[in-house]
Structure 1
Amino acid sequence: MMRRMPAKRTFAAEIYSVKEVNDRLVSATGRALKRVFVTGVLVDVTERNGVVKAQIFDGTGKLTIFCSKYQPEALVALKSIDAPAYVAVVGRIKAVDGKIFVRPEFVNTITAKEHELWLREAIYATDKALSAEVDLPHSEEERQRVVDALERAKARLQELTAS
């Protein structure tokens, strides 16, 4: 029986840092990313020619997701959610013509508390990945963008827990 690769808790800023290395997408933290688990605020949903494009803001940036009839569960979910709303997305990262996006497998609405828990876990995972000594094809500037995004996420978590 073939097992799915686990989805990694990942911020938009890290997703947009990926580079293709030996047929793998590697982020500026050094993590190989294929399936990701992202939460944030669904801020926009548009549909054109049977393809739904959605924007999710996770505190580090806006993540673009695209789905069509080939992702029926995600398509139905996105069409039924009124923005703005907290959502959780599990999907695969795609790189096409230099553009990075996520093709969702699942989209669900979540509570602010669930988003806060995800944020805490994603901060931990990103911190852990950044502390590992790995040889990366990324510039120091690209890595610093992820570090800066992580600091914004930590500040967002403090805002959420203070209220």
Structure 2
Amino acid sequence: MGRAIPATNKPRRYVMRHVLGAIVILLLPAVAMAQGMTQSAGQGIEYRPLTKEALLESDPSAALSWKILVDAANLGSSETRIAELTLNTDYVGQPHTHDAIEIFYVLSGRFGHNVNGVPGVLEPGEIGICRPGDTIIHSVEGDEPAVVLTIWLPGGAAAPFHTD
């Protein structure tokens, strides 16, 4: 079931430092696993900068727009995908599921986060987590767009956001 971690009144730099630390902690097992798999095959992990050809960045005027920040194109494997999603006020979410963990960190706006029929609203600095098989509906609650850092583990769950 999704859950929210309350925002704090601490300065933004403090919050961002902790968010970045949490991201590193979340990604560490995936990177270690990838390192072990590729080293056992006698290969190392190769970093590749994300190119325009590998990145699908949507039209910012659309109801849902995104920028891919990390995926197989620059990570070298598909353990995770990270994107910045912007949901404009005209966004109408549809129920959907993923076969992966989906983690949301709200950067701005109010993000409606309905998980398995339980409605909630995440505000800047709050985190929502969905597990594989959860039914999710996203929405915008308020008169400004919601900007959300989204992490998928494994990264293949975000396939619609990527071009090959």
TM-score normalised by structure 2 residue count: 0.26
Structure ranking higher on relative contact order (CA contacts 8 Å, 6+ apart): 2
Flag the structure with higher strand content: 1
Flag the structure with higher helix content: 1
